[in-house]
Chain A
């Protein structure tokens, strides 16, 4: 892992970092990854692995909830005519 990897990850997760922050993160991440790498050595018998999670279904019927529209729209950083305003996407 090197500083390029940190930069690449930071751009993937949309976080701007200063140069010294990048260096600090690189050293932190190296240490932590070295520790969690011990998971490689754990032996898991193939037979135990079956995903036990099931989907939880419900009827496809509308179920109105009480949300405060005013509270939501009031918090928009930028708005126009009651709509959220964002910068150009394309």
Chain B
């Protein structure tokens, strides 16, 4: 029996190389666990039928005496990342029958390493949401309390890692979609610098915010996956290869104004203060900084880009097609029935903020504020090395509890900023809070300057080691 609970990518690598267990045995252990738990959690939308064949191929490479960091490691992949010959639906009805005709660049890199893909994970439709409740295939449940959400939009990916249904997972992060579900499920979630990982083969939500990144049990594991998937790609002109970042972390900025306001759970604040104390004990200097609330800015740009990006789904070349009276009728019906509520809402809002009479007031203004914020961050990072906040203002909430849209949007208050300015950020577990006799996980978030991933890994590992 392989002990999946305490297994990490680092440990599994050693065990595989030492032949303590084979990749097939490891994959089988995960398949058994998935069989036991996935029905209840709804974390995987599909478990691939060739998992053991993939693992067998990895074993053959191991037999030859070769070793790569992810060789034979079982991973879960978010449903908006393309794997050739497999369905990729973005948890939407409109793509329920869509089969990818090529590999995303990250998938190509993972395949080259001999990683094993267990299946595709549940998410908010087209990565629009924050709880995985917007999936057309039902919400993912939080492994720590199945009456609660797993967070989102990469809720399925975070739940698989948290419940030992995968050793690691890929998610995508547009405004917190890797970090927030990771915090709510008690695992590590890492969003790289914008452009550090190629977006080729990732279904676009907000192209100027989107990033692919890992969800894992430890900071070291996140770093291992990141090192495999990073790098410039000719298929994504926004991607780049990073220069090593020479800087040590000494000063950490905390935006106390933003954290001490109402709407942030009292126990989240307590947990956060405890984390700050621990970081002080590690020798870091904590500085009070000011950060604005960026939600309005974030959502205007999100609506506009989502509206544009989702225009391609029209039922003409692939996906769900509904027959109307004429071509226009086909569009109206296919899109009307294929998209879920939140997608439709954001498509309409995007068309509104981009329309002639309102463009300057909304989208145009948002772009100006975004430029100003980028400049502000540059100045800020000349005085401090990292920024620290809670990842989410509240712990996992009950499924169906948040019927008010704005209250759902407000959960992203601490995470959207990193996407707006394009800096890397990581969510690390910071303990639990007790609610109704259940222990719900919490997380804290570090943000670093552009290209400062190493700073996040360094401090993240030290914080993690204090547990």
Contacts and interface: CB of A to CB of B under 8 A. Distances in A.
B296 A13 contact: no
A68 B327 contact: no
B129 to A, nearest CB: 14
A87 B406 contact: no
Given A35-B406, A44-B369, A75-B98, A15 B349 contact: no
Nearest to B98: A75
A8 B244 CA distance: 51
Contact of A14 (B332, B352, B361): B332
Interface in B173-205: none
B50 interface: no
B347 A15 contact: yes
B394 interface: no
Secondary structure class of chain B's binding surface, majority of residues? helix
A64 interface: no
**Which of under 10, 10 to 19, 20 to 34, or 35 or more describes the interface residues of B?**
35 or more
B88 to A, nearest CB: 12
Interface stretch (B118-126, B313-321, B412-420, B447-455): B313-321
Contact of B300 (A9, A39, A63, A77): A39
A71 B349 CA distance: 34
A77 B316 contact: yes
Secondary structure class of chain A's binding surface, majority of residues? loop
Interface string A6-22: 10011011111100010
A71 to B, nearest CB: 4
Nearest to B297: A39
Nearest to B335: A15
Nearest to A68: B101
Given A35-B406, A39-B366, A77 B315 contact: yes
Contact of A66 (B102, B319, B348, B361): B102
B255 to A, nearest CB: 17
Contacts of A78: 321
Nearest to A39: B296
Contact of B369 (A28, A42, A52): A42
B339 interface: yes
A58 interface: yes
B406 A31 contact: yes
Given A36-B362, A39-B300, A16 B327 contact: no
A52 B297 CA distance: 18
Contact of B336 (A6, A17, A49): A17
Interface residues of A, number: 50
Interface in B335-376: 335-337, 339, 344-345, 347-349, 351-353, 355, 361-362, 365-366, 368-369, 371-372, 374-375
Contacts, number: 143
A75 B234 contact: no
A43 B318 CA distance: 45
B223 interface: no
Nearest to A71: B101
Interface in A48-68: 48-52, 56, 58, 63, 65-68
B142 interface: no
A12 B308 CA distance: 12
A25 interface: yes
A16 B333 contact: yes
Nearest to B365: A39
B99 interface: yes
Nearest to B331: A14
A48 B353 CA distance: 23
Given A29-B348, A33-B352, A35-B406, A14 B317 contact: no
A20 to B, nearest CB: 12
Contact of A72 (B101, B328, B361): B101
B449 to A, nearest CB: 16
B95 to A, nearest CB: 10
A15 B328 CA distance: 10
A28 B348 CA distance: 11
A39 B327 contact: no
B330 interface: yes
19 contacts: A13-B311, A14-B314, A15-B344, A25-B345, A29-B345, A31-B406, A32-B409, A33-B349, A36-B300, A37-B361, A42-B369, A48-B375, A51-B371, A63-B234, A67-B101, A71-B85, A71-B101, A72-B318, A87-B330
